[in-house]
């Protein structure tokens, strides 16, 4: 009797495995769905300046999915006001959207070399009131970084086009 129950049990397990590959294929197909990258930054940017080197941050800019302290930086035709929040200035604000943001960086964490390694060579560089400016186009965003005399980023700016 024990042998019969083992055979029946083994048959039941074998039958359940014959269905499993179809279920696995369905699960795999669902797992392969593409999700656009996003990045949500909360707090003072000056305290964690190296977030600008995070590949997820850069990718979120390409896909218009960057949020800073609850404000999505995206094309915003309705925004009219400016808002200072923490160490950031948001431009063309309405609701939870802003067309752009200027933010402070610590001036010692992100070097020009590290920035170029992440973003490539800038479209152009120029002197500015805040120091040397590196300009990039990332997706539909104008992205600028400003460097002190020691070659470290002190400010960043993102504007939606």
Q: E strands along 12-52, which residues?
A: 39-41
Q: Are both 13 and 57 inside the same structural domain?
A: no
User: 30 pLDDT band (50/70/90 cuts)?
Assistant: low
- List residues bridging with 134 in a β-sheet: 125, 145
pLDDT digits (tens, 9 = 90+) for 41-77: 999 999 999 999 999 999 999 999 999 999 999 988 7
Which tokens in the block code for residue 103?
Answer: 């933010």
Same domain, 17 and 96: no
Specify the pLDDT at position 98: 95
- For residue 7, what are the domain limits? 1-33
Domain match, 112 and 56 both? yes
**Is residue 146 helix, strand or coil?**
strand
Angle subtended by helix axes 55-62 and 112-119, to nearest 10: 50
- Considering the domain architecture, whether residues 1 and 77 belong to the same structural domain is answered as no
pLDDT score of 160 more than 70: yes
Q: What's the CA gap between 121 and 135, in Å, rounded?
A: 9
- Please identify which residue in the block is written with the tokens 């300009």: 135
Tokens of 99: 């067309």
Residues 6 and 72 in one domain: no
Angle of CA points 21, 24, 28, to nearest 5°: 140
* Token couple for 135: 């300009």
Instruction: Check: CB of residue 92 under 8 Å from CB of residue 79.
Output: yes
pTM of the predicted model over 0.85: no
Collapsing DSSP to helix, strand or coil, 158 comes out as strand
Q: Give how many domains the chain has, as a whole number.
A: 2
Q: Do 102 and 149 reside in the same domain of the chain?
A: yes
Pairing between strand 66-68 and 39-41?
parallel
């Amino acid at each position: 009797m024990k042998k019969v129950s083992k055979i029946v049990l083994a048959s039941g397990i074998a039958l359940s495995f014959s269905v499993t590959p179809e279920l696995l294929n369905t699960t795999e197909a669902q797992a392969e769905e593409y999700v656009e990258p996003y990045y949500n930054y909360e707090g003072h940017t000056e305290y964690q300046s190296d977030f600008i080197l995070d590949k997820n941050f850069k990718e979120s800019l390409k896909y218009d999915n960057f949020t800073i302290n609850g404000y999505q930086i995206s094309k915003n035709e309705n925004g009219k006001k400016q808002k200072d929040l923490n160490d950031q200035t948001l431009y063309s604000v309405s609701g939870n959207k802003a067309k752009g943001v200027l933010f402070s960086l610590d001036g010692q964490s992100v070097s020009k070399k590290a920035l170029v390694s992440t973003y490539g060579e800038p479209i152009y560089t120029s002197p500015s009131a805040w120091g040397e400016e590196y300009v990039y186009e990332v997706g539909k965003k104008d992205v600028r970084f400003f460097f002190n005399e020691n070659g470290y980023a002190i400010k960043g700016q993102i504007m939606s086009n």
